[in-house]
A and B are shown apart, each in its own frame.
Chain A
Amino acid sequence: MSAVEAQAVGKRYGRTWALRDCTLAVPSGRVVALVGPNGAGKSTLLNMAVGLTVPTTGRVTVLDGTDPGSPTALDRIAFVAQDTPLYPNLSVADTLRLVASLSNRWDEANAQQRLADLDIPLGRRVGKLSGGQHAQVALAVALARHPDLLILDEPVARLDPLARHDFMGALMAAVADEGLSVLLSSHVVAELERVCDYLVVLSRGQVQVAGDVDDLVGSHRILTGPAGEIDAVSAAFDVVHAHSAERQASVLVRITRPMPVPAGWQLAETNLEELVLSYLRAPRASALPGPLGERRAVSA
């Protein structure tokens, strides 16, 4: 069961490749975070999944082999694009009516209830809403279509921390209620940990890390110890990223089997944010499941 699959997908704009030889399977029934630095190809990949962009090479399928942009795919996938575009001159009520007019499975009561809970006035023009309300309206109309898969491209990038928190809260509640699959891109890693259960890290147009969040966090540890012994430790472990300040060294390692902790070193748990940042700082390291990539970890 896959929500989005990419097979050797590439996209070239002029002479630059936004995405290159990208192979990826995003499982369905999960809340998947797609993270990576700006320009990593996240938007390109998501726009391909909703049929707005056609790959230069390779093939993207959605919902177990459906072509993106086909009637089935359009009907079952809702998309909240970057900066949550809506028509600024339409009222909230007219925005609902517009989406309803284009939908087959529109749930008016659901949309009304959601907006009422947020105290968003139906008569107000979308252009006059605050950034947070604007994003909430975009989310509400997407959810009221009862999609099987909801794709969001940097939905909170421009929101203040409070609005960001509220938006993620609304998204989590909807996931809990409706059990839909979610694919969410973001470069704001801190918000993802409480929402997402599957992580894909995209870097320079290729997949660097893909896996269950718990598995990933569980299989990585932080080793701290004397900076002078860093080379010896690096030789013994799968090092993702090593960092030393003064005499103290801190190394994120990947543990696939029980390993003895070197004398004078301490082992600590890591978290999603630390893990993502370490991989982004070490673009040549990767952690990929199954046959996709051999289990390798290259020291940066």
Chain B
Amino acid sequence: MTIAAGSTGWTLPRVKGLTWITWRQHRTALFGAVAVLGGFSVFMLIHGLAMHRDYHRLGLGSCGSFSTDACQNALGTFQHRYQSVADFLPVPLAFAPALIGAFVGAPIIARELESGTFRFAWTQATDRVRWTVAKLTLLGAVLAGLALVFSALYGWWFHPWEPILGRIQSGKAYEVEGVVFAARTVFAFALGALLGAVLRRTLVAMAATLAVWIGVVLPSAIYLRPHIMAPEVAQLSKGGFVRNSWELSSWMQNAAGHHLSSAQQDALSREAGNAALNAADPRAAYDQWFVQHGYTNWVKYQPNSRFWHFQLVEGVAYLVLTLLLGAATVWWVRRRAA
């Protein structure tokens, strides 16, 4: 209002006003989001510095595919020291977008309806559609920015593990790195705003947001994500694996190409074990038995190099959902609310 409109026209002061209002009304929720991500960030900084230092001290940076014994030993030490954290940390973080989105998004309209302040806010000279659009876009953009910065920090923290574990494994770093984390955060935010408008109760809307978010995110990660690209299939040596990939399934097949059930595999193992019992080198003889009889091991997997392709496909999908939810929220506020 007091800022001159200048050559950009009359919309500038209005937007300034709504920007200030959005900040003033939702700064506590934003501080909450920053506190949650900030707490994890501080831990990751402290823990990450030590982990990076050890990674270089152990010489793992120049190990390539960890083929030498020295590298295998160093890898064992590194994994023993840090892998439990690397495995655990993504678990709470995978759900952080739902919490942050529900916490910031659900009150936007629900609190106004619940406390009656919509009668004050929506009868001012600026109509409620502009009011809603401003809040959704500004808060959504801030949350997306915060989440992207956090994902970048996680990427730095996780970097030593990439050649070892890969980034594409489901349920691990994939859920926190890249753009999926931010896209899911704004998805939860828009979901919270819409459910808040429809349900008219802040706490109920928050709980419903968490429930719906989990109901969408978990099944899509489990059932849809593996189909983003047709998986690679590779033959493995017995007991081998494709390092730093996302393994979808593995099986043994006979010379005719038929997959074997686990009962059949157990029977073969006993047969091979009996045959290898009296050999000079039982372990080699055991493996050799399978090769001689034409049994081979196979794996179906998504290679680590597809990380960004997967991230972009999934990120865009959540972004489209977010925009649809935002449009539905504006429509609801215009037509139905109050």
The verdict on A102 contacting B125 (CB below 8 Å), with A52-B338, A94-B24, A97-B20 known, is yes
Among A82-90, A117-125, A214-222, the stretch in contact with B: A82-90
B120 and A86: CB pair below 8 A? yes
Residues of chain A contacted by B116 (CB below 8 angstroms): 81-83, 85
The verdict on A85 contacting B1 (CB below 8 Å), with A53-B338, A98-B24 known, is no
Residues of chain B contacted by A97 (CB below 8 angstroms): 20
Task: Please give the distance in Å from B1's CB to the nearest CB on chain A.
Answer: 5
Does A114 belong to the interface (CB within 8 Å)?
Answer: no
Q: In the complex the two chains form, what is the Cα distance from A90 to B28 in whole Å?
A: 12
A101 and B127: CB pair below 8 A? no
Task: Please give the distance in Å from B251's CB to the nearest CB on chain A.
Answer: 60
Task: Please give the distance in Å from A51's CB to the nearest CB on chain B.
Answer: 7
Does B292 belong to the interface (CB within 8 Å)?
Answer: no
Q: In the complex the two chains form, what is the Cα distance from A51 to B123 in whole Å?
A: 8
Q: In the complex the two chains form, what is the Cα distance from A279 to B14 in whole Å?
A: 48
Closest B residue to A103 using CB positions: B125
Does A244 belong to the interface (CB within 8 Å)?
Answer: no
Does B278 belong to the interface (CB within 8 Å)?
Answer: no
Residues of chain B contacted by A83 (CB below 8 angstroms): 116
Chain A contributes a number of interface residues (CB within 8 A of B) equal to 32
The verdict on A100 contacting B1 (CB below 8 Å), with A52-B122, A90-B24 known, is yes
Closest B residue to A95 using CB positions: B120
Residues 1-23 of chain B: 1 if any A CB is under 8 Å from the residue's CB, otherwise 0? Answer: 10000000000001011101100
Among A21-29, A71-79, A172-180, the stretch in contact with B: A71-79
Q: In the complex the two chains form, what is the Cα distance from A283 to B195 in whole Å?
A: 43
Residues of chain B contacted by A99 (CB below 8 angstroms): 124
Residues 310-338 of chain B: 1 if any A CB is under 8 Å from the residue's CB, otherwise 0? Answer: 00000000000000000000000000001
**26 residue pairs bridging A and B, Cβ less than 8 Å apart:** A47-B338, A50-B123, A51-B122, A53-B338, A74-B126, A78-B123, A79-B123, A81-B120, A82-B116, A85-B115, A87-B25, A97-B20, A98-B24, A100-B17, A101-B16, A101-B20, A101-B21, A102-B18, A102-B124, A102-B125, A102-B126, A102-B131, A103-B1, A103-B124, A138-B120, A145-B125
Residues of chain A whose beta carbon lies under 8 Å from any beta carbon of chain B: 47, 50-53, 69, 71, 74-75, 77-79, 81-83, 85-87, 90, 94, 97-106, 138, 145
